[in-house]
């Protein structure tokens, strides 16, 4: 048995894909010490891992409404990075009695990179975002230029922290423009190799294990009886950018408010929907038991997040994608280019366009055929069991544990 240090930031989109992998590692006898924020305590503990809190300093800051939305991501990221020193000290204190054999961290979580430099143990990176950085920036309106970064008032404080980390621990913080993705000695990507483009960009350290399968058995009160005998449309804009375009909710309501034979379920995470007049045939919740709802779902609308699209692929539910930020434009583009979905523009979307697109993916057979092809790719990639086999082979090669 080896002791594994697992580090991840406060994001459902990055934590959820790891849960099956952690459960499988625990089942194989590995002692997994998983650091994340307290919001994820329960779901991580259920995998068999030892949950450790990153502390309050690691929580994701709220966006500043006075800042242009295209600059908010950098502002949030920089303010979160300012807690790095405190979080690093906290982790080191919590594991001082442990002998860490190897570590796994989310490829976009810079604290993991710093701790790996300090511990000098073999590293595995978990890639919930597997698109290369250069594939994200051109199509992502949330990307900001260096001139915005240079003008940020917190940069001076950040630079002082970087100097202290270098002096105290001998570590190098990546440049701000290089904070997007880190790579380990072994890299686990939650997709199939056929799904990505430019295969030459992924070196032999990459293992593609297929889309993540939900392992969450959630007991959440929900009126499932209202879904019986109805056409069910499921809508989820995820947890990261779902508040960026509140007018989209009006589009959803207007598209289906007169269709009384249809029930629309909307997952509106941390969204204030009190200003909306919600039609009677809608069920809107901050959090829903997605895995169970999909058993009733006929067609879906998604932001293009890894977890939701993977669930839809495995359940073979036709869907359209409204990408908003992050890697969502990349994901939407891949599903569209593979003929498995339709991408819709959030800025020009109308109720008519939405209904027409949902009708097309539901009725045109080629969408289901191509969705089935992606599902086979995912299943043949091997999933979490394959990932753990690769990790065990990596351990043997490195003489770990």
Weakest-pLDDT range from 23-32, 74-83, 139-148, 382-391: 139-148
- DSSP helix, strand, coil percent of the chain (3-state; round to 5): 45, 15, 40
The residue ranges of DSSP E strands in 171-277, in sequence order, are 186-189, 206-208, 231-236, 262-267
- To the nearest whole number, what is the mean pLDDT of the chain? 88
For residue 208, the cross-strand partners are 189
Task: State the alpha helices, DSSP H only, in 257-327.
Answer: 290-293, 306-315
Name 220's Cβ contacts closer than 8 Å, sequence gap at least 6: 287, 288, 289
Which domains occur in the chain, in start order?
Answer: 3-210+382-398 (3.40.50.2000), 224-379 (3.40.50.2000)
* The two structure tokens encoding residue 27: 């089942």
Which tens digits make up the pLDDT trace of 26-39?
A: 999 999 999 999 99
Nearest to 7 by CA among 153, 150, 108: 108
Sort 385 into a burial class: Cβ within 10 Å, 0-12 / 13-18 / 19+.
middle
How many Cβ atoms are within 10 Å of 282's Cβ, its own excluded?
A: 20
Looking at per-residue pLDDT, the higher value among 74 and 199 belongs to 199
Weakest-pLDDT range from 93-102, 189-198, 269-278: 269-278
Contact criterion met (CB below 8 Å) for 304 and 113: no
DSSP code, position 342: E
Residue 121 has pLDDT above 70, yes or no: yes
What's the pLDDT score for residue 130?
85
- Based on its alpha-carbon atoms, the radius of gyration of the chain, rounded to whole angstroms, reads 21
Task: State the alpha helices, DSSP H only, in 338-401.
Answer: 351-363, 365-381, 383-398
Sort 370 into a burial class: Cβ within 10 Å, 0-12 / 13-18 / 19+.
middle
Identify the H or E element spanning 3.
Answer: strand 3-7
What's the pLDDT score for residue 213?
87
What does the longest C-alpha to C-alpha distance in the chain come to? Answer: 65
Contact criterion met (CB below 8 Å) for 269 and 242: yes
Contact criterion met (CB below 8 Å) for 213 and 191: no
Q: Which region, left, alpha or beta, applies to residue 221 given φ > 0 means left and ψ of -120 to 50 means alpha? A: beta
Which tens digits make up the pLDDT trace of 316-343?
A: 999 999 998 888 999 999 999 999 999 9
Q: Work out the angle at residue 184's Cα, subtended by the Cα atoms of residues 203 and 2, and round it to the nearest 5 degrees.
A: 125
Output the DSSP codes for 370-386.
Answer: HHHHHHHHHHHH-HHHH
Compute the distance between CA of residue 60 and CA of residue 285 in angstroms, rounded to an integer: 22
Mean pLDDT of 74-90: 80
Nearest to 212 by CA among 112, 102, 313, 101: 313
Which tens digits make up the pLDDT trace of 353-384?
A: 999 999 999 999 999 999 999 999 999 999 99
Compute the distance between CA of residue 230 and CA of residue 263 in angstroms, rounded to an integer: 6
Compute the distance between CA of residue 25 and CA of residue 303 in angstroms, rounded to an integer: 30
What are the φ and ψ backbone dihedral angles of 323, each rounded to 5 degrees? -70, 145
What's the pLDDT score for residue 131?
79
What's the pLDDT score for residue 176?
59
Share of the chain above pLDDT 70, in %: 85
The residue ranges of DSSP E strands in 239-343, in sequence order, are 262-267, 282-285, 299-302, 319-321, 342-343
What's the pLDDT score for residue 144?
44
Task: Give per-residue burial for 247-271: e unless 16+ CB within 10 Å, then b.
Answer: ebbebbbebbbeeeebbbbbbbbeb
Residue 70 has pLDDT above 70, yes or no: no
Weakest-pLDDT range from 160-164, 190-194, 266-270, 387-391: 266-270
Compute the distance between CA of residue 219 and CA of residue 185 in angstroms, rounded to an integer: 38
For residue 282, the cross-strand partners are 264
Compute the distance between CA of residue 273 and CA of residue 246 in angstroms, rounded to an integer: 9
């Amino acid at each position: 048995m080896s002791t594994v240090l697992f580090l991840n930031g406060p994001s459902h989109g990055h934590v959820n894909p790891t849960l099956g992998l952690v459960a499988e590692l625990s089942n194989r006898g590995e002692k997994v010490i998983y650091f994340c924020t307290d919001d994820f305590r329960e779901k991580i503990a259920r995998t068999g891992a030892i949950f450790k809190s990153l502390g309050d300093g690691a929580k994701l800051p709220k966006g500043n409404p006075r800042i242009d939305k295209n600059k908010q991501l950098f502002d949030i990221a920089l303010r979160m990075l300012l807690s790095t020193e405190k979080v690093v000290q906290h982790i080191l204190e919590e594991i001082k009695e442990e002998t860490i054999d190897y570590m796994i961290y989310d490829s976009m979580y810079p604290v993991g990179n710093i701790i790996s430099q300090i511990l000098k143990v073999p590293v595995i990176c978990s890639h919930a975002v597997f698109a290369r950085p250069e594939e994200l920036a051109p199509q992502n309106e949330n990307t900001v230029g260096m001139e915005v970064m240079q003008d940020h008032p917190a940069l001076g404080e950040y630079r002082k922290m970087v100097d202290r980390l270098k002096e105290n621990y001998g570590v190098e913080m990546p440049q701000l423009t290089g904070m997007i993705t880190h790579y380990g000695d072994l890299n686990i990507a939650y997709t199939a190799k056929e799904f990505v483009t430019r295969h030459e960009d992924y070196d032999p350290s990459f293992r593609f294990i297929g889309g993540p399968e939900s392992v969450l058995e959630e007991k959440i009160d929900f009126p499932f009886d209202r879904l019986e005998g109805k056409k069910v449309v499921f809508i989820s804009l995820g947890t990261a950018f779902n508040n960026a375009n509140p007018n989209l909710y009006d589009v959803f309501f207007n598209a289906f408010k007169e269709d009384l034979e249809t029930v629309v379920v909307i997952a509106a995470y941390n969204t204030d929907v009190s200003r909306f007049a919600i039609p009677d045939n809608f069920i809107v919740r901050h959090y829903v038991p997605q895995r169970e709802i999909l058993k009733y779902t006929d067609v879906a609308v998604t932001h293009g997040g890894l977890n939701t699209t993977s669930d839809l692929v495995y359940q073979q539910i036709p869907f359209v994608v409204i990408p908003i930020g992050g890697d969502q434009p990349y994901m939407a583009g891949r599903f569209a280019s593979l003929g498995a979905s339709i991408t819709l523009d959030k800025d020009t979307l109308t109720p008519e366009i939405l209904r027409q697109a949902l009708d097309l993916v539901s009725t045109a057979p080629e969408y289901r055929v191509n969705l089935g092809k992606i599902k086979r790719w995912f299943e043949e990639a091997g999933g979490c069991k394959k990932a753990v086999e690769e990790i065990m082979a990596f351990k043997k090669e490195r003489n770990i544990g």
